Structure 1
Amino acid sequence: MFHQILTHFALDPNQYTVQPFGSGLINHTWIVSTPHGPNAYILQKINTGVFKYPQDIARNMASLGTYLQQHYPDYLFAGALPTTSGDYLYVDDQHQYFRLFPFVARSHSIDKVNTPEQAFEAARQFARFTHLLSGFDTRLLKITIPRFHDLSLRYQQFTTALKNGNPQRIQETAALISYLQQQQQLVQTYEHIKNDPGFRLRVIHHDTKISNVLFDDAYKGLCVIDLDTVMPGYFISDVGDMMRTYLSPVSEEEKDVQLITIRDDFFAAIACGYLEELRNELSDSEKQHFVYAGQFLIYMQALRFLTDHLNNDVYYGARYEGHNFIRAQNQAVLLQQYNAKSALFNQIISTI
Structure 2
Amino acid sequence: MELNLDSEVLKAYGYTKENIKISQIGAGLINRTYLLSPISEDKKYILQNINTSVFKNPQSIANNLKAISDYLSKTYPDYLFIKPVSAVNGAEMAFIDNEYWRMLPFVPNATSLDVLSNEKQAFEAAKQFGKLSRLLNNFDASTLEPTIPGFHDLGLRFEQFSSALSATSNELKRLAKPQIDDALEHKYILDYFKSYSHRVDFPNRVMHHDTKISNVLLNSKTFEGVCVIDLDTIMPGKFISDLGDMMRTYICAFSENETDLSKVKIRLSYFEATIKGYLSEMKGILTDTEKELLLFSGKYMIYMQALRFLIDFLNGNKYYPTIYSTQNLDRAKNQFKLLQEITLNDKELQDIIEENL
Map Cα deviations across residues 74-127 of structure 1 (whole Å, 9 max, x no partner).
00011100011110110112x100000010111111111111110100000001
Q: For 2:155 and 2:12, how far apart are their aligned partners in 1?
A: 43
Structure 1 residue 30 corresponds to structure 2 residue 34: yes
- Would you say the 8 A contact 1:166–1:312 is kept in 2? no
Of 264, 272, 277, the residue aligned with 2:276 is 272
- Would you say the 8 A contact 1:152–1:190 is kept in 2? no
Matches within 5 A, 1:1-352: 1-93=5-97, 95-217=98-220, 218-352=222-356
- Would you say the 8 A contact 1:166–1:311 is kept in 2? no
Q: What stretches of structure 1 of length at least 5 have no aligned partner?
A: none
Q: For 2:57 and 2:259, how far apart are their aligned partners in 1?
A: 36
Map Cα deviations across residues 180-232 of structure 1 (whole Å, 9 max, x no partner).
21111100112123212121110000000000001112100011011100010
Q: RMSD of the alignment, in Å?
A: 1.1
Q: For 1:190 and 1:183, how far apart are their aligned partners in 2?
A: 12
Deviation at 1:167, TM superposition (A): 1.6
- Would you say the 8 A contact 1:253–1:326 is kept in 2? yes
- Would you say the 8 A contact 1:109–1:214 is kept in 2? yes
Which 4+ stretches in 1 moved above 3 angstroms?
A: 34-37
Q: Write the letter of the residue equivalent to 2:254.
A: V
Q: Write the letter of the residue equivalent to 1:334.
A: L
Q: For 1:260 and 1:156, how far apart are their aligned partners in 2?
A: 28
Question: Tell me, what secondary structure is at the counterpart of 1:84?
Answer: coil
Q: For 2:7 and 2:141, how far apart are their aligned partners in 1?
A: 38
* Residue-pair matches, total: 351
Q: Write the letter of the residue equivalent to 1:256.
A: D
Map Cα deviations across residues 166-185 of structure 1 (whole Å, 9 max, x no partner).
22111121112112211111
Question: Tell me, what secondary structure is at the counterpart of 2:110?
Answer: coil
Q: Write the letter of the residue equivalent to 1:170.
A: K
Q: For 1:166 and 1:212, how far apart are their aligned partners in 2?
A: 37
- Would you say the 8 A contact 1:138–1:202 is kept in 2? yes
Deviation at 1:36, TM superposition (A): 4.2
Q: For 2:219 and 2:15, how far apart are their aligned partners in 1?
A: 27
Question: Tell me, what secondary structure is at the counterpart of 2:113?
Answer: coil
Q: Write the letter of the residue equivalent to 2:301.
A: L
Question: Tell me, what secondary structure is at the counterpart of 1:104?
Answer: coil
Q: Write the letter of the residue equivalent to 1:117.
A: K
What TM-score results when the alignment is normalised by the length of structure 2? 0.96
Q: For 1:48 and 1:173, how far apart are their aligned partners in 2?
A: 31
Question: Tell me, what secondary structure is at the counterpart of 2:111?
Answer: coil
Q: For 1:55 and 1:173, how far apart are their aligned partners in 2?
A: 39
Q: For 1:287 and 1:20, how far apart are their aligned partners in 2?
A: 42
Q: For 1:57 and 1:110, how far apart are their aligned partners in 2?
A: 24
Query: What percentage of residue pairs aligned between the two structures are identical?
Result: 41
Deviation at 1:320, TM superposition (A): 0.8
What TM-score results when the alignment is normalised by the length of structure 1? 0.97
Q: For 1:4 and 1:177, how far apart are their aligned partners in 2?
A: 50
